[in-house]
Each structure stands twice: as C-alpha cells, then as structure tokens.
Structure 1
C-alpha cells in the first residue's frame, strides 16, 4: 500500500490512470464521465459496469454485484458490475478513489453555491446602497431646480439662495460619492502614486477641522499636537484625504454631537495620529470589518448616515502605501478611536 491507502501502482497501472483522470475533473458529472470508460480496466474485468448514485447501501463490499461507494462512513452509491468474482482489494481501491472524487466535488459544489449566494447578496446590497446614495441627492437637485423654474412664483432672494445652496450641497455629495468609487477602482488597479514632500500633519489636521466644523453645529473639535511635532516626508494630499475621512467618519457616527479630538503622538520611528469621538461606538464583531469596502457599522442608524463605506478602506490603502498602519478601538456607546501611523523618516515615492 502507498501513502494514499491504495494499492501501490505505477504510471502504467489502470488505477493510476483512473486517479489521474479524476484529478482533472471539477464536477461530479465530469468525474463520472471520466471514470466510466476506465473502470473496466481498473477493475480488470470486461463485464458491463455502471455507476449508480441512487443506491443506499451499507458500507460492506459485495464483490460481483455492487461495490459500495463510501465517503466518510456513508454510502453515496455503488459501482454495479455484471457477474461476480472481482478482486476485492482492487475493487475497494477503485471504489475509494471514485467515492472520494464524488464526495469532494459535491462538497465543492455546495461551497461554491454558498459563496455565489453570499456574493450575490453582497452585490445586491452594494447596488441598493449606491442607488440610494445617488437617488437621494438627485431627487433634491431635481426638486429644487424644478421649483426655481416654476413660472408665476416669485421666490424671494432668501428662498432662492436656500434652494441653490441645497443644490450645491447635494451636487458636492454626488461628487464625493463618484470620487470615492473612482479612487477605490484606481487603488485596485495600482494607478495611484505617492508624491512625498516635507509636511506638517498638525497644520493639515487643523485645516481639515476648520473645513468640517462649518458643516456641523453639534460637534466641538480639538487638535492636540505638541509644538515640536516633527516634519515628516509624506504625500500632503493623501494625508489630508485620510484625515478628512477619519474626522468625517467621527462626525457621522456621533449624530448627537460631542467632542472630536485629533491628537498626534511622537514615537521612536513614527508618528501616531488619532481621531477620537464620543459617538455610538462599534460592536466588537464589526471592528475587523471596518476597513472592508462598502461596510458600514451601526446598521440601526445606517439609513441616516450618508456615504459609500469606501472612506476607511481607501484610507487604509493610503496609509499602508506610506509604510504605516491603521486600526480602530471602540466600545458600543462609548465612542471610537481611529488611529494611523506614518514613519518619521518618510518613504520614497512608490506605487499605491
């Protein structure tokens, strides 16, 4: 016997040919089609042979009539041979090969179907989410633009200004959505490059805070960086993009407002930037999914939260491209801390 538990065979042995043929198949039907012409020589018989997968047989060899196909102790069918007096050892080896091939391919088919269903469900979720995120601003733009064009209504300057501001805000929302999708696709295709230069992350953080703070009156923002926080080599635009995503995420997931702190810490070979909020927090089972594309935490509030779920995955790719790390710490009801590192000595220009 060899290490497979089958009779030792050489490249010229019919059992070897049967095993090789089965290995080249992917489905049960392919395995049956490949095996049937070879079973006669493998069993050393010229009698009629058929494979019957409808038999519910006990796991006992019955030479000359039905050779049970046993997989994991369960009969899944039989090789049925006309007549009797087959070599039991050879018959058992052939049946073992075929049973293993059938069982393995059945399991693979079930697993593939499960994965397809999961992928289909994810695809539908993504399509549904994207269509919702696009329809909402489009509906607002259409509604307010149509209202401005209604003849016979003299909108006052203040009302026209409000309508135009809403149209502008919803247009920006659509622009950010499209940019996130294109950015994600470009990262996947390896089309982005970093352009490192000496930057002050503290200055970038304050600029992002100034921009986001005018969009909310429920949040207070604090930047905490030491006066001697080092200059580092990094891509200014990409670091600002990461900070924007993290601070924007903190605002979205603290709908009741509160304090958002952006702080910097200097370590031996890197700086650590953290964004801390007082929001809803993230359940432990969701933390490891936070940087997956299209994932959004807090499903109970999801319908009120704008975004594609691409901001954090994009941020992770950009941080890693700088040679850094990004992670999240959170507890439900106690807020979230998102942190990332950037090497102090920077990195050479590289592909993302």
Structure 2
C-alpha cells in the first residue's frame, strides 16, 4: 500500500490487470500487483521492453482500462469507482499525447484545438484565448491555418500537445510520444515538455522505451518487466546504481563497458580493475591526471563514456591500477572516492 499524501497526484495501490487471451482459456497478466506514486509537479517515466505492461498502466490513469484488482487514485479520486459523468470531469484534468498524434486531418491546426473545447461547451471567447495561448506556447501560432499534412512530424506533435494543454489539465500523459520522431525533433519536443512542466507546473507521466527520453527529462523512473515493477527511484540513482539485473540489462549498464573478456582477464592479472562513475561537477575535474601527479602512478584507461542525466554530465571510466603496493592502492582509491567519484571493483573475468 502506497500512502496518499498532499504531494501525491497519481497513486497505484496493488494494481493488477489481466486480459482473456484470444483463442485460449488462459489469461494474460499485463500488470501484476504494482504499487507506486507520482508526485505533483514531477516528470515521472516508466520504461521497459515491449509487453512490459507500460501502456496498460498509463491507460488506467484516465480510465481507458480498469484494474482487475487494486486501485488507481488520480487527483484524490478512485478512477474505477467514478460514474461516466465524474470520469469525464476527471479526464478534463488529464491531458494525453500519443505517438500517432490523433489529429483531425480535415481540420486546421486552429480547429484541431478549437473543436474539442467547443464540445465541452466552453464559452467561445475563452476558447479563442486558450487556442492562441497554447499555440504560442508550442511555437505554432503562425501555422494556425495550416492542415496536419502540411506540417512535419514534430510540428504535428506540438499541435497534439497544445490540444492537450488547452483543456488546462494538471496531469499530462505521454504514450511513447517521441517514438516516431527523429533525434533532433525528439530533443526539441523533450525541451518543450520540460518547459511546460516548469512554467505551468503540470505533472508529466510518460511511458517510453527510449533511454534518452528518461535520461533527459525524468525526475524519477520505474522499470517494468512482464507486468512487474522491477525497480523505481530517482533517475540519477537508477542509471548510476541499478540494483536489479533486469534493470542493468535494459540500461546496458555493464561494468566492463564493452571491453572484451580476454583483455579484461589479461589486464586483471597484475592490476585492479576499477569502474569510476562521475556525476555532475565531478565529470569536469581532471581526477585521473591529478591522481597520476599526486601518487606518481600511471592508470591505464581501458574504456570510457559520457552522457547526460537531467542536464548533468554522467561519465564512466574503466581503469586499471597496479596492485603491487596494496597500501598505496588503498590510498589511491580513497583519494578518488574523496573527490565524489563512485568506485566499483570489476571482475576481470566478467
């Protein structure tokens, strides 16, 4: 049971969902006894392989799917217990964007946002104000008279985002919203989502199989596998210290950084193999060079990589240090750790 607090906006309590399999008496367990909460104002991501249960999970937030067991609480309302009228009201507070945009092909950009608001019987002047406001937020006010087929994929997704925002929700759901976009366009959409989260205070709950999406925008992340919640935590912690083997495999978090086993074995005979992880300011410091000067050693750099987590540099280095002087080796490792670097010994035969 996840405790409900004022800081919680979405809550899963022991949620399971099963489907009857086609042409079979067996059931498909899409989600199995999942419990976690999403905080107000955060960007929360769910990642996992295809068939992990991500889509079923997000569809239970706005009542498109109903839990077989357990409860999904959104805005302090048990979604499955709502009648059709109350569910419709709740959905007004939940925006959703999809991979395939779901735009009206025969309507202009302006009309794609105007018409859904008109169906809600919002006053015409208010609709006009909202359409202009949110098209400007997504940078498409000058394309308001264009049709979807005259726009790029990224622009169509921006229209879909503006349409979701025009209902003025406090939760925005993103169902693989960048999967069909090229890397550069994905980057621009992710920047837009971060701006929306920051400026409008909207909670964003997204599902994706793209690691770059999670690295760049998510405050916290959960990994799903075969319907089960495998691991959950702050994005930086999950990427730097994954605890579960499934998480490590999904993230590609091998301690060997792709170095061949025979080279690891050869290097590990007379040396200690260490994986160094640098996050934030530590990634900018010349720690290896300083180590060499301070202790008169020559670390051998076997592999390295650098990426970014929530805008912070995240670097990895696989090095080897001579083990002949164990006392000196301990001092060298202590020094590295004192600089805020995470040090992990690597098995030379992994």
TM-score range, shorter chain: under 0.3
The structure whose residues are more often strand, as a share, is: 2
Q: TM-score, normalised by structure 1?
A: 0.21
* Structure with greater contact order relative to length (CA < 8 Å, sep ≥ 6): 2
The higher radius of gyration belongs to: 1
Give the helix-richer structure, 1 or 2.
Answer: 1
